[in-house]
Amino acid sequence: MTVEQLSRLRVIVFLLAGLTIAGYGALALVFGRPDPIWPWIPTFAGVSAVVIIFTSAARSGDKVAGASFDELFDVEWRRAVSWSYWIAIAMYPLFTVPLATGMLTSQTAFAAMGTISGGAPLLLYCFITLRS
């Protein structure tokens, strides 16, 4: 596997895992339930992403993996994580009114906020990487 292929695979896997994890939170909000689909799906998506990326990097060799996970990756990942921190913080005031008015249960808010916060860095990394 080349550096470009490994980098593309990482973006695709991050995108699929991020959509699955954050999508679970969106579905929880749409259906108003903390378990809109099987609750193990976000975990499976995250663990599968780790296994796919780690295995691909290990099979590509140290030189290719090192070039793929370089300083640019670190900068983009750090930026994605810092933006997702602010997304997680912004969800608290956004969820206050629906929780206070009873439109949303605390269990559903917990499931939605947790999975949206978990998927945000993956999706933001893809956005940052594809934008540049």
pTM of the predicted model as reported, rounded to 2 decimal places: 0.90
Compute the distance between CA of residue 12 and CA of residue 18 in angstroms, rounded to an integer. Answer: 10
State the sign of the Cα–Cα–Cα–Cα dihedral 9, 61, 52, 117: negative
Q: Residues of the chain with pLDDT > 90: what percent?
A: 90
For residue 32, the 8-state DSSP code is: T
Biggest CA-to-CA distance, the chain: 56
Q: Is the pLDDT of residue 30 over 90?
A: yes
Compute the distance between CA of residue 28 and CA of residue 111 in angstroms, rounded to an integer. Answer: 7
One-letter amino acid at 112 equals A
Neighbouring residues of 132: CB distance < 8 A, sequence distance ≥ 6: 76
